[in-house]
């Protein structure tokens, strides 16, 4: 080698290394896959945060809600994602008598000109005696209303596992599990979120509420359901859809659907008959998404101790469904999410576990149920403290939120943009 050329070569190598280092720094929070870009976003939540949910509105705005806890005081906060980052967090409500639970936690929805949020508040001394409180945003006063109890039974029992959907005219659709018939005692049979020995059964109820929390109408949708699996709701062209885990008299707990069609709720029916017979609640509810008459439902099942996440699709508003696609099996512990993208593709989130560790996964399917790709969004823990990852979408972008529990609990946010 020409000795005089060596300094120029070293200089060139140094420039290459500097450029490579800069590029690595630039994509430190971004992963490019074959059809998706994964970005870790900053979080507006403090280091003592958990129980987050993310939601998009009709304008494409992204909202994050979460709970912070200091001593006995719980605070429900929210923030909106802007081009320059998150807005200054605002408080919806706080209290020292809340029921905070890894699987049953607050939510936020955004209407055309208003917002609604819910949380859970202890109603008596029983471990699972709590009410659903909801607050509604007053656009004229630019404030949240005081919390109101949406169910009027007045019975100290379990009320929770809420799903909310925005409606026109600033109305909000809310569905929930209602324990007024159970009158739960202190003996339980589930090792996760215990289920109650009682004379009555947990019921599924729903209602439509106005801007100040007044009930416009209310229904009982199913008189016997699984006690502590999440409900999920979506809006199809016909109206609201609710999916949930049912409970037969011989303890088969499969995923059911009921739809509001022509001002009547349809008879509940299984989206698919897994035949999973289990003596206690698995605390692992389904998730539904709808766009027009296209409906997608994902869920967890473990019949014969074989864990699986499944997905079914409908093109007629949830009246009929395709045969199920197995999204994950073997090491999955469920905790699913479902969204339908503008492309017509469906994204399903789920958790894959390895001992005490876990991964938050996102699988993309075509409109006919063909797997397109799967990516790992983040590392997590299998512990209940890590909670349930939550997803929502706008356009062809999926937003994901979860809780990191490596040190203090910290709400995290990621964005996955699909190019297919």
- Helix or strand holding residue 19 (H, E): helix 6-26
| Phi/psi of residue 145, nearest 5 degrees | -70, 165
> Per the structure, how many domains does the chain have?
2
The pLDDT of residue 67 is above 70: yes
The pLDDT of residue 311 is above 90: yes
Asked whether residue 84 falls in the same domain as residue 10, the answer is: no
Asked whether residue 172 falls in the same domain as residue 27, the answer is: no
Nearest to 253 by CA among 294, 321, 328, 195: 195
Range 196-206 average pLDDT: 79
Asked whether residue 142 falls in the same domain as residue 271, the answer is: yes
Asked whether residue 272 falls in the same domain as residue 246, the answer is: yes
Asked whether residue 281 falls in the same domain as residue 155, the answer is: yes
Residue 420 has a pLDDT of: 67
Asked whether residue 173 falls in the same domain as residue 286, the answer is: yes
Asked whether residue 243 falls in the same domain as residue 178, the answer is: yes
The pLDDT of residue 117 is above 70: yes
Average pLDDT, the chain: 89
Please report, for the domain that includes residue 394, its CATH number.
Answer: 2.120.10.70
Asked whether residue 27 falls in the same domain as residue 39, the answer is: no
Residue 34 has a pLDDT of: 59
Asked whether residue 108 falls in the same domain as residue 168, the answer is: yes
Asked whether residue 23 falls in the same domain as residue 43, the answer is: no
Domain that holds residue 370: 33-418
The pLDDT of residue 29 is above 80: no
Nearest to 384 by CA among 254, 191, 95: 191
121 contact partners, CB below 8 Å, separation of at least 6: 95, 97, 98, 99, 130, 131, 133, 147
Contact at 8 Å (CB) between 389 and 52?
no
Residue 35 has a pLDDT of: 85
Share of the chain above pLDDT 70, in %: 88
pTM more than 0.85: yes
The pLDDT of residue 9 is above 50: no
Range 41-60 average pLDDT: 96
Q: What pLDDT, in 10s, does the model give residues 263-298?
A: 999 999 999 999 999 999 999 999 999 999 999 999
402 contact partners, CB below 8 Å, separation of at least 6: 52, 360, 378, 380, 386, 387, 389, 390, 411, 412
Asked whether residue 27 falls in the same domain as residue 41, the answer is: no
Asked whether residue 123 falls in the same domain as residue 183, the answer is: yes
């Amino acid at each position: 080698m020409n000795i005089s050329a060596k300094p120029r070569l070293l200089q060139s190598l140094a420039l290459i290394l500097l450029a490579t280092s800069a590029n690595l720094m630039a994509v430190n929070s971004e992963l490019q896959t074959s059809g998706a870009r994964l970005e870790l976003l900053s979080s507006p939540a403090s280091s003592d945060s958990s129980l987050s949910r993310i939601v998009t509105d009709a304008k494409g705005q992204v909202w994050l809600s979460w709970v912070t806890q200091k001593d006995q005081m719980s605070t429900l906060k929210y923030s909106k994602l802007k081009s320059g980052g998150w807005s200054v967090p605002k408080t919806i409500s706080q209290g020292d008598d809340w029921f905070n639970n890894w699987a049953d936690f607050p939510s936020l929805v955004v209407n055309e000109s208003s917002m609604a949020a819910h949380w859970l508040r202890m109603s008596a001394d029983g471990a699972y005696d709590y009410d659903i409180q909801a607050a509604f945003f007053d656009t004229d006063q630019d404030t949240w209303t005081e919390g109101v109890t949406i169910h009027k039974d007045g019975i100290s029992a379990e009320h929770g596992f809420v799903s909310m959907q925005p409606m026109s005219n600033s109305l909000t659709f809310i569905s929930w599990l209602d324990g007024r018939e159970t009158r739960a005692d202190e003996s339980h049979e589930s090792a996760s979120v215990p289920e109650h020995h009682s004379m009555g059964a947990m019921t599924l109820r729903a209602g439509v509420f106005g801007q100040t929390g007044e009930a416009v109408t209310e229904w009982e949708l199913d008189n016997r359901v699984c006690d502590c699996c999440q409900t999920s709701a979506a809006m199809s062209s016909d109206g609201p859809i609710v999916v949930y885990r049912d409970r037969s008299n011989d303890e088969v707990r499969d995923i059911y659907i009921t739809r509001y069609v022509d001002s009547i709720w349809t008879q509940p029916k299984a989206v698919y008959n897994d035949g999973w017979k289990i003596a206690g609640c698995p605390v692992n509810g389904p998730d539904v998404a709808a766009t027009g008459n296209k409906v997608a439902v994902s869920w967890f099942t473990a019949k014969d101790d074989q864990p699986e996440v499944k997905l079914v699709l409908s093109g007629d508003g949830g009246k009929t469904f395709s045969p199920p696609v197995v999204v994950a099996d073997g090491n999955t512990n469920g905790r699913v999410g479902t969204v339908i993208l503008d492309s017509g593709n469906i994204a399903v989130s789920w958790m894959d576990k390895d001992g005490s560790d876990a991964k938050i996964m996102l699988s993309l399917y075509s409109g006919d149920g063909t797997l397109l790709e799967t990516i790992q969004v983040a590392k997590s823990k299998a512990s209940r403290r890590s909670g349930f990852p939550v997803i929502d979408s706008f356009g062809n972008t999926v937003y994901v939120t979860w809780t990191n529990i490596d040190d203090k609990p910290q709400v995290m946010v990621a964005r996955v943009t699909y190019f297919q």
